[in-house]
Amino acid sequence: MAAVRFASPIGELVITASDAGLTGVWFPGTGKVPAGRGDGRGPASGLLARACEQLAQYFSRTPTTFDIPLDAPGTAFQRRVWDVLRTIPYGTTRSYSDLARRLGDVRLTRAVGAANGKNPIPIIVPCHRVVGANGALTGFGGGLDRKRWLLEHEGALMMLGS
């Protein structure tokens, strides 16, 4: 696994990748940052460069779509949830029950919340765009302050009336 550090307005991020795709976007200080090498060689280095470029565009408010291959470890259900997360448009939010309905069963709401919480590639897989049914900001691996910042950055909090 290769890794690179990326300076962002919400703190330094550590981005990790295998030769097949991105494996993580990590917030230092959360105790979850894996070790990786940053030797600048191999397919992973090209993926990391693309990720940094697209994150820089995102943080500068240049309209961007993240189109980087992903290689996140997870169950089949988690991957289905993460695929649905990638369909939430920039500047909008969805509730956990909205996502469960998209997956075909509103009874999956709690399971969707759990899978959302296991997302190892935040921002690129926009789990920050998921809020409670009443619009309340709920958990985020990078902390609620970062979640609020990301939603304000995208203009989504204005839609929530926050």
Alpha carbons 93 and 136: distance in angstroms, whole number? 11
Q: Which residue has the tokens 């992903």?
A: 70
Q: Which two tokens stand for residue 2?
A: 């290769």
Q: Is 151 exposed, middle or buried (0-12, 13-18, 19+ CB in 10 A)?
A: buried
CB atoms within 10 A of CB 20: 12
Active site residues: 127
Which of these, 99, 97, 80, 142, lies nearest to 117 by C-alpha position? Answer: 142
Strands (E), 18-85: 22-26
Which of these, 70, 72, 81, 77, lies nearest to 129 by C-alpha position? Answer: 81
Q: Are 36 and 43 in contact (CB under 8 A)?
A: no
Q: Are 28 and 19 in contact (CB under 8 A)?
A: no
